[in-house]
């Protein structure tokens, strides 16, 4: 079997650290790894697969030696600058940022949903937004069977999605509450401890946030439905990890609820936890550290014909970023 090489950009960040864990679990036929980061992290030593590696500074010549894959988890500006360079040197770039997601010639891929789109990449493949990834895994299954007419998203997103500074704000808020002391915010406009902030990413002229527009536009692109009716309200909540989402769907076709649930149970990458009388439903705390998307509270929306409500939870750092990106790498290697 051929051996491959992979460069991980942003190797010391929140997603980069998780990507290293996922790579160790997947055991892909990769014999050469290089870990890249900003000058602040360059020189850091890290343990990976029983060996010690030194993190190298990301530079324009970092990809000159040639790589099969370059996985980027270092932010949009870094991806815009260095992604095309890596691609020009022969690497297939899998990018976790929003830099290329809506580019027409860049596939936006969730392997359980639209792996076929990988085939028309031109050297760069985009990883969708974390909140979109977990939603479209069950939505694709339902769309194939019942044809989706409209989607309403309401998200409850963990602070890990805002990076280390988001985690710091929650930790500092908890400690400040315990000590009854003031503390300085490093990420959010308001304290996230004991709060819900309907304000993720930047405000857009539409009145939506950029996060909400990402979910709307990315869902349409991934499902291949540019005119699909989608709306979203995205909220940051005081949870450390794993995003939760309330998803309301209206279908073109009628459905049998039990058949619909069985369809979800049999689908790749989905775990159904749906027993309300016994208080069994997806929980953020239980999904953390797992690669699957958890679905529960599955019930009819009686306010509209062919309507459905369900609750969807996944580890936003794993399935929402690191795992999805590396599933793309795995798919390319196997196909």
Distance of CA 3 to the CA centre of its chain: 27
Q: What is the pLDDT of residue 223?
A: 98
Q: What is the pLDDT of residue 265?
A: 98
Give the chain's mean pLDDT: 97
Q: What is the pLDDT of residue 126?
A: 98
Question: CB–CB of 315/288 below 8 Å?
Answer: yes
**Distances in Å between the alpha carbon of 39 and those of 9, 10, 12, 55?**
12, 11, 11, 10
Domain ranges of the chain: 4-129+321-334, 132-316
Could you read off the pLDDT of 108-165 as tens digits, one per residue? Answer: 999 999 999 999 999 999 999 999 999 999 999 999 999 999 999 999 999 999 999 9
Element at 323 (helix H, strand E): helix 323-334
Distance of CA 236 to the CA centre of its chain: 15
Q: What is the pLDDT of residue 174?
A: 98
Question: CB–CB of 69/92 below 8 Å?
Answer: yes
CATH tag, 132-316:
3.30.360.10
Could you read off the pLDDT of 157-213 as tens digits, one per residue? Answer: 999 999 999 999 999 999 999 999 999 999 999 999 999 999 999 999 999 999 999
Q: Which residues are catalytic?
A: 130, 243
Evaluate if residue 281 carries a pLDDT over 80.
yes
Q: What is the pLDDT of residue 251?
A: 98
**Residue 1 confidence class, pLDDT cut points 50, 70, 90:** confident
Q: What is the pLDDT of residue 61?
A: 97
CATH of 4-129+321-334, one of 3.40.50.12500, 3.40.50.150, 3.60.15.10, 3.40.50.720: 3.40.50.720
Residue 275: Cβ within 10 Å count: 10
* Mean of pLDDT values over 65-87: 96
**Beta strands in the chain, from DSSP E residues, in sequence order:** 4-9, 30-37, 45-48, 51-54, 56-57, 69-72, 92-95, 124-126, 148-157, 229-236, 243-251, 270-272, 293-301, 307-314
Q: Tell me the pairing of strands 148-157 and 124-126.
A: unpaired
Could you read off the pLDDT of 219-273 as tens digits, one per residue? Answer: 999 999 999 999 999 999 999 999 999 999 999 999 999 999 999 999 999 999 9
Question: End-to-end CA distance of the chain, in Å?
Answer: 13
Could you read off the pLDDT of 288-330 as tens digits, one per residue? Answer: 999 999 999 999 999 999 999 999 999 999 999 999 999 999 9
Q: Could you tell me where the DSSP H helices lie in 158-256?
A: 164-179, 210-223
User: By percentage, how much of the chain surpasses pLDDT 70?
Assistant: 100
Q: What is the pLDDT of residue 87?
A: 98
- pTM, two decimals, is 0.95
């Amino acid at each position: 079997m051929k051996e491959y090489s992979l460069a991980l950009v942003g190797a010391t960040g929140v997603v980069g650290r998780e990507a290293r864990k996922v790579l160790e679990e997947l055991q892909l036929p990769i014999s050469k790894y290089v870990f890249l980061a900003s000058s602040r992290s360059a020189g850091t030593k890290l343990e990976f697969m029983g060996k010690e590696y030194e993190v190298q500074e990301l530079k324009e010549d970092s990809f000159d030696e040639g790589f099969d894959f370059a996985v980027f988890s270092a932010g949009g500006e870094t991806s815009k600058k260095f992604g095309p360079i890596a691609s020009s040197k022969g690497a297939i770039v899998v990018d976790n940022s929003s830099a290329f997601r809506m580019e027409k010639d860049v596939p936006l891929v969730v392997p359980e949903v639209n792996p076929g789109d990988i085939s028309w990449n031109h050297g760069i493949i985009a990883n969708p937004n974390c909140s979109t990834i977990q939603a479209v895994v069950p939505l694709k299954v339902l769309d194939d069977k019942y044809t989706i007419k409209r989607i309403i998203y309401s998200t409850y997103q963990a602070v890990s999605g805002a990076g280390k500074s988001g985690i710091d704000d929650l930790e500092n808020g908890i400690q400040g509450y315990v000590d009854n002391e003031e503390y300085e915010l490093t990420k959010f406009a308001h304290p996230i401890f004991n709060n819900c902030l309907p304000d993720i990413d930047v405000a857009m002229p539409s009145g939506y946030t950029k996060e909400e527009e990402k979910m709307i536009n990315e869902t349409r692109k991934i499902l291949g439905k540019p005119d699909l009716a989608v709306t979203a309200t995205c909220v940051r909540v005081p949870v450390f990890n794993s995003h939760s989402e309330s998803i309301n769907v209206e279908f073109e076709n009628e459905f049998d609820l039990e058949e619909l649930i069985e369809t979800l149970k049999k689908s790749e990458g989905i775990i159904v936890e749906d027993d309300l009388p016994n208080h069994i439903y997806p929980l953020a705390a239980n999904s953390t550290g797992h690669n699957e998307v958890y679905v529960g509270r599955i019930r009819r929306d009686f306010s509209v014909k062919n309507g459905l409500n369900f609750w969807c939870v996944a580890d936003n750092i794993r399935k929402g970023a690191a795992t999805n990106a590396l599933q793309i790498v795995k798919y390319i290697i196997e196909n």
